[in-house]
Amino acid sequence: MTLILASASPRRRELLAGLGVSFEVVTADVVEHEDPTTDPREMVARNAALKADWVAARHPDAWVLGADTTVFIDGHALNKPTDGTEARAMLRRLSGRTHTVFTGLALRNAAAGVAVDTGEATEVTFKLLDEAAIEAYLARVHTLDKAGGYAIQEAGELIIEGYRGSLSNVIGLPVDTLKQLLTDHGLMG
């Protein structure tokens, strides 16, 4: 059975490869919904489904996995920053506070009529950051392709006080939830 990851994310590729399943990557040509005022669970679920559905329509016999992740605080989603100024603003907003990281997962097999959607939430607490700490972090980590303007797995010790829940979810793919999803559909033993 062919499994396709409908994501260009190198972090998702690494996490999925770590499960020992073989897969291909086909990037969905879609415009993601990124309205920061949308309920984050709905936004990531919609985007994950959008990616999976686009790829599944072109590969109807394959199993297709779509995923989307965002950071949520103060009633707003913090998606990928557009520039360094926005990344700094995001880190300031997260400084000394706890936020939630939501990931939506969508598994599709068009030929079998399978459409499963699920998700995961993890709470992350930031250290109190001064401007020097923010600049030190940004000097070490490229943040423009990361929701919330940070990567817990890259120099996270500079900014993260702790987390509650799935670490892999914060990186972009909740591995335990995904393992169960793939096992339930015969894609993992």
Residues tagged active-site: 68
User: Inter-axis angle of helices 131-140 and 84-94, to 10 degrees?
Assistant: 130
- Asked if residue 167 lies in contact with residue 103, where contact means CB atoms within 8 angstroms, the answer is no
Q: What is the DSSP letter of 128?
A: P
The two structure tokens encoding residue 86: 């926005």
Tell me how many degrees the CA angle 54-57-63 measures, rounded to the nearest 5.
Answer: 90
Helix (H) or strand (E) holding 102: strand 98-109
- Asked if residue 26 lies in contact with residue 86, where contact means CB atoms within 8 angstroms, the answer is no
Q: Is 146 exposed, middle or buried (0-12, 13-18, 19+ CB in 10 A)?
A: buried
Q: 3-class SS at 119?
A: strand
Q: Give me the DSSP letters along 163-182.
A: EES-HHHHHT--HHHHHHHH
